[in-house]
Structures are given as C-alpha cells and as structure tokens.
Amino acid sequence: MQIIRVGGCGNRGINSCIRRKKAMNTIVTTGPNDGQSVSVGGNTYRILITGAQTGGAYTAIEMLVPPGGGPGPHAHAAWQESFFVMDGEIEVKSEQGIYTATKGSLVNIPQGGMVHCFRNKTDQLARLLCTVVPAGMDNFFLEFGIPVANGKFLPPPLMTPELAAKMKAIAEKYNQQLFPPDYLD
C-alpha cells in the first residue's frame, strides 16, 4: 500500500490528514430546513455544515438575529470569523471601532483574539451567513445552545450566577473570552 502524504498536515499525523482529505472530498448538501438549530442568547443559529463534515477546515452557520439581538463582547484567538449580511443590518463593534453592516456587507474578524460583538439595532430580523475557520465554533454553539426548530426563537435567558458560570466554563473550554456588556462602549 502506498501512502501519499497530504500537504499541510503539520503535527496532526497521516491518519488525521487522510480523514480530513476524505471529508473534504465528500459533497455535502444542506436544504433550507436542514441542519441543527439552537437558541443562543435569544438568537437562532442553524449549523449548515459542521467541522466534522469539513475535516475541521471550517464551519458555516446561518444566524437569525432578532431586533435587539446579538452576542456580547467576546474574543476567540484561534478562529477567523466572517459575517455576510443576507438580510437586515447589524452594528459591529470591535477594538477598531464601529461599523454598520447592511445587506450585502461582509465583516471579517481575524484570528488573534480581537474583542468584538454585534447587535441588531433595527426593528427587522437580520440574517447572517457566518463562516468560521478552522471549525470548532459549531461545537461551542451546539453545547451551549438550546435546540429549537429552524426559524423559531426563544426569549433571551435571565442571566443568573449559575448561567454566567456555565457560559464562562463552556467558553473557556473552547478558548473563548467573554467580556462585560459595556466593554466596547
């Protein structure tokens, strides 16, 4: 048997590279009602393609953000995250300033741990396509979120000390940092 080393394997080993190549050579389709949806802080996130399906290369998530919705300030050094606004608009805050992203806009948060957040400040639903490289944020959302039907919303949970501790523990497990709501003000 001849084994051909796949480029870019680094220290992951040949078996990891073969699994990744196999996952990346499989066509994955996700219909408009497919993918697992979870409620995260009152927003609904639908996992369109998982890291397991891409060999860990990336994940894609449809984010439905109701008026007033959006995550608080946070940072994740290992992930590059981009948001393409398909409908509506969001206000993105980061350590570099504030940007209003309207329909058709793309916002890229680079790897390195820049603190950022976004908020839907309109009275209309915002719909985003979020791509995360490498994958892993999908697992964070699936572990932390509450399963919901596609397109359904749960009210944001009441922040209790127990919920804050759970959020912090899960965020730390996935190498994320959470900051106070007014951190970027």
CA distance 177 to 158: 20
Dihedrals phi, psi of 52, to nearest 5 degrees: -60, -35
Q: How many domains does the chain have?
A: 2
- Greater model confidence, 157 or 87: 87
Mean pLDDT for all residues in the chain: 88
Q: Check residue 22 and give its pLDDT.
A: 56
pTM for this one?
0.85
Q: Does position 16 have pLDDT exceeding 50, yes or no?
A: no
pLDDT band (50, 70, 90) for residue 11: very low
Residues 126 and 163 in one domain: yes
Task: Give domain status of residue 67, yes or no.
Answer: yes
Which phi-psi region, left, alpha or beta, contains residue 77 (left: φ > 0; alpha: ψ -120 to 50)? alpha
For residue 149, what are the β-bridge partners?
none
Q: Check residue 111 and give its pLDDT.
A: 95
Q: Check residue 36 and give its pLDDT.
A: 95
CATH value at residue 57: 2.60.120.10
Q: What is the pLDDT of residues 84-142, one digit of tens each?
A: 999 999 999 999 999 999 999 999 999 999 999 999 999 999 999 999 999 999 999 99
Helix-helix angle 161-173:137-144, to 10 degrees = 160
3: containing domain: 1-30
Residues 17 and 94 in one domain: no
Residues 25 and 62 in one domain: no
Q: Does position 79 have pLDDT exceeding 90, yes or no?
A: yes
Residues 26 and 92 in one domain: no
Residues 19 and 46 in one domain: no
Residues 12 and 65 in one domain: no
Task: Give domain status of residue 184, yes or no.
Answer: no
Residues 53 and 143 in one domain: yes
Q: Check residue 157 and give its pLDDT.
A: 87
Residues 99 and 140 in one domain: yes
Q: Does position 19 have pLDDT exceeding 60, yes or no?
A: no
Q: Nearest CA to 44 among 155, 153, 131, 120? A: 153
- Greater model confidence, 5 or 181: 181
Residues 103 and 171 in one domain: yes
CA distance 142 to 159: 19
Residues 78 and 25 in one domain: no
Residues 53 and 135 in one domain: yes
Q: Check residue 126 and give its pLDDT.
A: 98
Residues 100 and 14 in one domain: no
